[in-house]
Structure 1
Amino acid sequence: MKVGIVGANGYSGVELIRLLQQHPYVTIEKIVSHSTHGKNILELYPHLYGVNEMILEKWNLDELSNLDFVFFATPSGVSKDIIPPLLDKGVTCIDLSGDFRLKNAGDYETWYKKTSAPAEYLQKATYGLSEVYRDKIKQAKLIANPGCFPTATLLGLLPALKKQIIHANTIHVDAKTGVSGAGRNANLTNLFTEINENIRAYKVGEHQHIPEIEQVISDISGEQVPITFITHLIPINRGIMCTMYADLVEQVTTEEVHQIYKDMYKDEMFIRIRPIGEWPTTKEVMGSNFCDIGVMVNRRTNKLIIISVIDNLVKGAAGQAMQNMNIINGWEEHIGLNNSPLYP
């Protein structure tokens, strides 16, 4: 299949290049960048010598219309304008930005501070959390790939919500991310001297991923509930850790909850439930499409504690996008993604 990547000059875009290069059924035909078109990708990413030496091109609707799949690794506010005409020409699109995740246009404009995509295209989009919406993804032509924080949060919460063992209105999420989640643009906050030996809370109570998480929780639980969600920037390159707390509906043991998680994810190749008493770390999923989850019941407070980790650029972006492409085409989901995490 012939695929293209729009926004190939960013971290998620170059991660798509890395993963798609090893996919046996895919050829990268076009890489597109608004800001760096005309440059060889090697000028931006010399590590691609001998792997991919393509020229970044301008957006061209007619040329991209000849492709089977186009991935959009663009900043929010870009894909909402350029995906609709490509979709109308029959090309399957997977959007890694937030432009099509929220079904309510007003929510997008409130949280993203930008004009929303046309309502008809918001309704056409399928939310691409692979393990939750697999059946819908199989039929989709437009995938709204989940955000990195929502992926880690929702995969951690899903079994507890589905089995109704927690009160959904008591969910608190303490989320931490590596610096690559902020993109490659120069920014004072992202300077080494600002990040090193430092932890910074940001977008407190205002993060654009909050309504996305709440939308899926509402879909799963049948309740429209607000969550407490606080994000922190930490001095690592890759990785997300979400530590979640919620009140239990009734008394259960750690062993019982652990079995619920193991049973629900027993057929999911990219979800790894850690043994009781063992907590996942970001380094243990780095470079992979895995989501590792640990659970514990705090008997003293009758709260469920969940810790979920992913690589924000793989399972949180490019890897899940490729997993969704595999689902749409009826291919084994692990194709192109069946690699062990990098360690150390």
Structure 2
Amino acid sequence: MTHSIAILGASGYTGAELVRVLSTHPDMEIKTLTGDRKAGMAMAEVFPFLRHLDLPLLQRIDEVDFGGIDLAFCALPHATSQSVIRALPSDLKVVDLSADFRLRDADAYRKWYGKPHDAPELQAEAVYGLTEFYRDQIRRARLVAGTGCNAATGQYALVPLIKASVIDVDEIIINLITGVSGAGRSLKENLLHAELSEGTNAYAIGGTHRHLGEFDQEFSKLAGRPVEVQFTPHLAPMNRGILATVYVRGDGQTVYDTLSAAYAGEPFIQMLPFGAAPSTHDVRGSNYVHVGVAADRREGRAQVFVALDNLTKGSSGQATQNANLMLGIEETTGLTMAPLFP
């Protein structure tokens, strides 16, 4: 059975990545693409790398007939998705790639995003979309909230360790390097080539990054008490990719064995040999996650390394993996493409 798909916000990076991934999916067909500012244009005009595909023209969301659509991906900006999704048919399955439904608590949303949530009833309904840890809930969900790409990376390093109580949750430091596409396609002065290339910088310092809300929510839930990690992201002059180095207090071999056991049956998570660290090059353009562990020179401390592609496994690939589950399709369908190299 082929499922009819709509992509709302197809003119952004995550929308284009969804088209790239779904274009070879055997059980999904893209029927509708929206992009309000580029309505009437062909995707080949907006993204020439997609010109080989026969795709519908971009249109405005208010022009879409959702009657024949089985699932909609919502790749719209934060604070826009909630009002759009609230107006969609109540029986339509939706995977949202924005931040609007990631946080379950209304006060937490207000804290991190600076405004009240406009659809609290949907906020309560949404299932958090980190597939490996919410697989059963996602299968039954109507609305799935895709995770933040940085938040997903940190959680792959830490969720099994917190769940197994093998690290000190009060001593967690996450240093993370991310590519520029994570900031979206809108023009920003600090992302101009002349200002970004040949350098790197920390941003959202001092515990201000919004993905900390997801860390707080998920880690505190697992630990049964408040957990607050230290987290500093760094912007690197690369298009795609995230590499996290996570410092923990715990025995290195135990940390490695715990993660290896947790991910033994996971199709998209690859454990490296003990003492090896991954590279963003090795996951680029793929839905795979590479995880490494090394013991620190100080006894009882370890580092966990996680690499993934922010646009694929961190966003659109993750969204497709979740959609597969929601539609009763084999979870890995359309997602086993090899990483791009070099």
Quickly name the TM-score band, shorter chain normalised.
over 0.9
Amino acid at match of 1:114: K
Cα RMSD for the two superposed structures: 1.4
Counterpart Cα distance in 2 of 1:301 and 1:87: 56
Matches within 5 A, 1:41-120: 41-60=43-62, 63-88=65-90, 90-120=91-121
**Residue in 2 that maps onto 1:290:** 288
CA distance in structure 1 between the partners assigned to 2:277 and 2:119 by the alignment? 43
Residue 136 of structure 1 corresponds to: 137
Map of 1:316 onto structure 2: 314
Find the aligned partners of 1:37 and 1:62 in 2 and give their Cα distance: 12
The CA deviation at 1:113 is 2.0
Deviation >6 Å, runs of 4+: none
- The CA deviation string for residues 102-124 of structure 1, in whole angstroms up to 9 with x for no partner, is 11122212211233132211110
Alpha-carbon distance, 1:304 to partner: 2.3
Q: Deviations over 1:215-264 (max 9, x none)?
A: 1111222221111111110010100011111222xxx3x33332221111
1:177/1:232 contact within 8 Å kept = yes
| Matched residue SS, 2:104 | coil
CA distance in 1, matches of 2:10, 2:267: 28
User: Residue deviations 1:29-58, cap 9 Å, x none?
Assistant: 000012211111111111111214431100
Q: Is the 8 A contact 2:215 2:228 kept in 1?
A: no
Provide the C-alpha distance between the structure 2 equivalents of 1:263 and 1:128, rounded to a whole number of angstroms: 22
The one-letter code sitting in structure 1 at the alignment partner of 2:298 is R
Check the 8 A contact 1:61/1:86 in 2, yes or no: no
CA contact (8 A) 2:15 2:75 kept: yes
Tell me the TM-score normalised to structure 1 length: 0.95
Corresponding residue for 1:255?
253
Q: Is the 8 A contact 1:99 1:117 kept in 2?
A: no
Q: Which residue of 2 aligns with 1:181?
A: 182
Q: How many residues align?
A: 339
Shift of 1:149: 0.4
Give 1:147's aligned residue.
148
Q: Distance in 2 between matches of 1:188 and 1:302?
A: 44
- TM-score norm. by structure 2 comes to 0.96
CA–CA distance in 2 between the matches of 1:109 and 1:301?
Answer: 41
- Structure 1 unpaired stretches of 5+: none
* Cα separation, 2, equivalents of 1:262 and 1:11: 32
Structure 2 unmatched runs, 5+: none
Q: For residue 168 of structure 1, what is the aligned residue in structure 2?
A: 169
Shift of residue 83 of structure 1?
A: 0.5
Offset, 1:293: 0.5
Deviations 1:289-328 (A, max 9, x none): 0111101222515222111011000000000000001112
Partner of 2:68, secondary structure, is coil
> Bigger shift: 165-174 or 115-124?
115-124
Is the 1:178–1:235 contact (alpha carbons within 8 Å) kept by the matching residues of 2? yes
Find the counterpart in structure 2 of residue 218 from structure 1.
Answer: 220
Summarize deviations over 1:62-97 as a string: whole Å, max 9, x none: 612431100011110111001022152x10000000
Q: 1:246 aligns with which of 231, 243, 248?
A: 248
Deviations 1:136-187 (A, max 9, x none): 1110000001110011110111221111111112111111110111111111
Give the match for residue 279 of structure 2: 281
SS at match of 1:133: helix
